[in-house]
Structure 1
Amino acid sequence: MSGVFSSAAPATRRARKRRLRRYGWNVVGLLLFVILVFPVYWMVTTSLKPDSEIIGATPTWFPFHPTIRHYRDAIARPYFWEDVKNSLVVVLASVLISMVLAFLAAVALAKYRFSGRKLFILLMIGILMLPQVGLIIPLYVVLARYHLTNTLNGVILTYFTFVLPFAVWTLRGFILGIPKELEEAAMVDGSSRLGAFVRILLPLVAPGLVATSVFAFVTTWNEYIFASVILSDQSNQTVTVWLSYFYGTSRNTDWGALMAASTLTAIPVVVFFLLVQRRIAFGLTAGSVKG
């Protein structure tokens, strides 16, 4: 009996240590969650506070007298709806065209062997390693030569420089994780190569396309530097550039309207994420099976 109790004691201690370790990681995760969510919470609550609570010496953690006046002021600012439309045009065009081109390029890189394939992959990785800020001047010079500055088409072409390489690399890793035996089995059953591509490969790669499109959507919607340099006409700018006009000096910044405008700018990203969130987790993990 003494041997049984002596062997059970270490097992109990190990179980207790595992529980403590799990609780510790849960606390760390909760703290990280609070740190990440707090700026968003502060932005939304500030947009609902009256000016007296925003500029008061004592911070208020919750709007005791909520108001939507700041949202009305933000929407009433000039060029709001025009710039929202411009952002939607730029983002949708960039995402749709990038996904089509990236998918075709990823299939070619994953399924076929051709001369220059490895060099193409190395160049694509090199482009991903370049800082985006370093590309502004050469891209602007090229766009100016073809009279594409201050146009939405110029912004769309510029966004391809950092959306396409990442999308191709991500989708290639996802396609490599799909067994080629599935396509071969479909072709043995009488399906053509195009039919196997449409019926087998395309449905399986759909989660990867969704996960990659989320990255493309968020990146292009929130992009500011390229849009602010290329677009000079306020009626032709994106919503992130429009948002920058809210910020003035420290004495005359309308913080309530600024937070309301920031919240409005973030809504399309949240809506798009909620629409496709079911496929995101699987697409991100499956796309990293093979590189």
Structure 2
Amino acid sequence: MTVSKLSTAPDRGKSPRRATLGSRIGLPAAVIGLLLFTLFPVYWMVSTALDPKASLRGSDVLPSGISFEHFEFVFDKGNFGTYLLNSAIVGLATIVAAALLSLFAAIAVARFKFRFRTSVLIMILIVQMVPLEALVIPLFIQMRDYDMLNSLLGLSIVYIALSLPFAIWTLRGFVATVPKEVEEAAYIDGASWPRMFWSVLLPLVAPGLVATSIFAFITAWNEFVFAYTFMKGSDKYTAAVGIYQFFGENSTAWGPVMASSTLVTVPVMIFFVIVHRKLGSGLAAGAVKG
């Protein structure tokens, strides 16, 4: 028995070392592989946009050179500056309106008890599950009846409606985490409801408001189907639709396509970098109910 214990003791001592060595090598390798898999499409997009011979690049990893002629082309010939401005207008309107409406709706369903409250929450979930493609024709007919086709205002209203279900459901969790005693203490100190909302409730749910605003902005900035269907004039196209003009029937101008795609991606990346800390804390806070 003693011999067998002594013979097996070294094997037990080696296994943790092997596991530690494997984790030291395997984890960094997995992270590097994931980063390469994630960042390579971004590299390919930017390098192709800067490649003066983008249409002849093929599968070459490195571009033939660096030039900004494709960016100049999309602004001069492709009118892409107008498309970016249209997307910015629609995105800003969507963020402001969706944030305000979803916040007040979330307060209503989280704080007040009224008839059909549960039914309203279930309807919000059902609307969120409906595929966007199924809403194109009904919304098109509705916008046509209201004479709001080919209008940035009409498109903004559609994006606001698409953003509200997710925003209301998410903000409801943030409002529910705020103890009612905090609001009652403000009332005892003599604060009115608007004063309590501005000084107490709004700062506490601000991270959730940032998270839902990012979702609303990305929805409005990257959406293609509704913008392409509702807009008749090319001067009202958004940036996502503006990229489509560089795709021909028999050929594709890959340089302008990648240049315009880079221009569409950069604002989203900048916006995300600015608010990513509040986004992370907001999503974590919304997942816990106090």
Same fold (TM over 0.5): yes
- State the Cα distance separating 1:275 from its structure 2 match: 2.0
Contact 1:95 1:213 in 2 (8 A): yes
Task: Identify the residue that residue 44 of structure 1 maps to in structure 2.
Answer: 46
Task: Identify the residue that residue 87 of structure 1 maps to in structure 2.
Answer: 87
Task: Identify the residue that residue 261 of structure 2 maps to in structure 1.
Answer: 262
Task: Identify the residue that residue 56 of structure 2 maps to in structure 1.
Answer: 55
Equivalent pairs counted in the alignment come to 287
- State the Cα distance separating 1:7 from its structure 2 match: 8.9
Match for residue 35 of structure 2 among 33, 36, 51: 33
RMSD of Structure 2 on Structure 1 (CA): 2.6
For residues 22 and 290 of structure 1, the distance between their equivalents in structure 2, rounded to whole angstroms, comes to 37
Q: Secondary structure at the match of 2:199?
A: helix
Aligned-partner residue type, residue 55 of structure 1: L
Contact 2:160 2:216 in 1 (8 A): no
- State the Cα distance separating 1:186 from its structure 2 match: 3.1
Residues 1-291 of structure 1: matches in 2 within 5 Å? 13-14=15-16, 17=19, 20-21=22-23, 23-51=25-53, 54-57=55-58, 59-63=59-63, 65-251=65-251, 253-290=252-289
For residues 62 and 81 of structure 1, the distance between their equivalents in structure 2, rounded to whole angstroms, comes to 29
Distance change (3 Å), C-alpha of 1:56 and 1:146 = closer
- State the Cα distance separating 1:24 from its structure 2 match: 3.3
- State the Cα distance separating 1:133 from its structure 2 match: 0.3
Unaligned 5+ runs, structure 2? none
Distance change (3 Å), C-alpha of 1:61 and 1:121 = same
Aligned-partner residue type, residue 148 of structure 1: M
Distance change (3 Å), C-alpha of 1:197 and 1:23 = farther
Distance change (3 Å), C-alpha of 1:248 and 1:115 = same
For residues 20 and 171 of structure 2, the distance between their equivalents in structure 1, rounded to whole angstroms, comes to 38
Aligned-partner residue type, residue 239 of structure 1: A
Contact 2:52 2:64 in 1 (8 A): no
Unaligned 5+ runs, structure 1? none
Percent identity between the two aligned chains: 38
TM-score, structure 2 as length reference: 0.89
Aligned-partner residue type, residue 259 of structure 1: M
CA deviation vs aligned residue, 1:187-209 (integer Å, no higher than 9, x gap): 33443333332222111111111
For residues 203 and 13 of structure 2, the distance between their equivalents in structure 1, rounded to whole angstroms, comes to 48
For residues 276 and 219 of structure 1, the distance between their equivalents in structure 2, rounded to whole angstroms, comes to 16
For residues 288 and 79 of structure 1, the distance between their equivalents in structure 2, rounded to whole angstroms, comes to 43
